[in-house]
Structure 1
Amino acid sequence: MKTFRLIDLKIVRQDETSKRLEEFPLIDGLIINKEDGENHWMVEGLVSKEYRYFFEYLLQEGKEVKTYVTITKKSNRPAQLLAKVKKITVLGEHVSVLLDGKMVSSKLRKGSDKILEDLMKEGYSGDRLLEAFKQNI
């Protein structure tokens, strides 16, 4: 297994009326390539306690969410994972969130026109559409 520094964590947050890409400012974090041949990764992010209830909701739901992680340095392109929250640990004023996910390979991604079309169907528009599109190409 290989471990890398987690620089940025964003999750597609969806409710009944909207869908948006939300950034969770990291206190610290790491990401581990499980090297299992299935492209599975473990992500641990230390975030403010204010995000605890959102991550607890994801843990209870047990659903995969689109997650974007930037590894090693801010200038790297974010990688997309389909991930589930596996564990939450309260550490004083912070929360450690453990996610398990599968990296979506860029080789498997659709053409850019199809990506744009899909994002529009998912309800993205304006600046949110631009940001989500950049994350998907």
Structure 2
Amino acid sequence: MKTFKLVELTLYPTDQVSLNEKEMKLSEGLIINKEEDNEWVLEAVLGKADLESVQEISEDRKVLLAQVRITKPENRPAMFLVQVQEVNDLGDEGNVIMKGTLAREEKSELFASIKRMRQEGMEEEEILTSGAGTTE
């Protein structure tokens, strides 16, 4: 496994008509490459307002798009297909744990692929692991 510092996180709900970003203000964060089947784990420590936003957009366990920057803010952003696994209230802050896959496609292409897969009747877990837009 490889662990990296997560320095920026923007979530895009995929169950809407268009992509509406929700930029999160991180206190801390990390991202782990499990080095098996392109599986990644993202953990973010967020303030109360952002924690509530994540709870709201992840209630139905829909796959989200996550744009992240790793290690330094000036690094190029990476896109992930993610599903929220846990949201934990820790008082003034909280943490969010997501699992997902690294994606190669642009946001708009990923969004269109997810919509198509839902129309075809795929379950959210199948969408997450479908390989759509993911790296080999």
TM-score by length of 1: 0.71
- From the superposition, tell whether residues 49 and 60 of structure 1 become closer, same or farther in structure 2 (CA, over 3 Å): same
Identity %: 33
Match of 2:6 in 1: 6
Tell whether the 8 Å contact from 1:59 to 1:87 is kept in structure 2 after alignment: no
Match of 2:92 in 1: 93
Matches of 2:63 and 2:14 in 1, distance apart?
Answer: 12
Q: Which runs of 4+ in 1 moved over 6 A?
A: none
Aligned length: 109
Tell whether the 8 Å contact from 2:15 to 2:62 is kept in structure 1 after alignment: no
Q: Per the alignment, in what secondary structure is the counterpart of residue 20 of structure 2? A: strand
* Structure 1 gaps, min length 5: 119-137
TM-score by length of 2: 0.71
Tell whether the 8 Å contact from 1:49 to 1:94 is kept in structure 2 after alignment: yes
Tell whether the 8 Å contact from 1:58 to 1:85 is kept in structure 2 after alignment: no
* Structure 2 gaps, min length 5: 113-136
Match of 2:38 in 1: 39
Match of 1:76 in 2: 75
Structure with greater helix percent: 1
Q: CA RMSD in A?
A: 2.2
The structure with the larger Rg is: 1
After superposition, what is the alpha-carbon deviation per residue over 1:87-115, rounded to whole angstroms, capped at 9, x for unaligned? 0111120010001010003xxx37xxx95
Tell whether the 8 Å contact from 1:44 to 1:96 is kept in structure 2 after alignment: yes
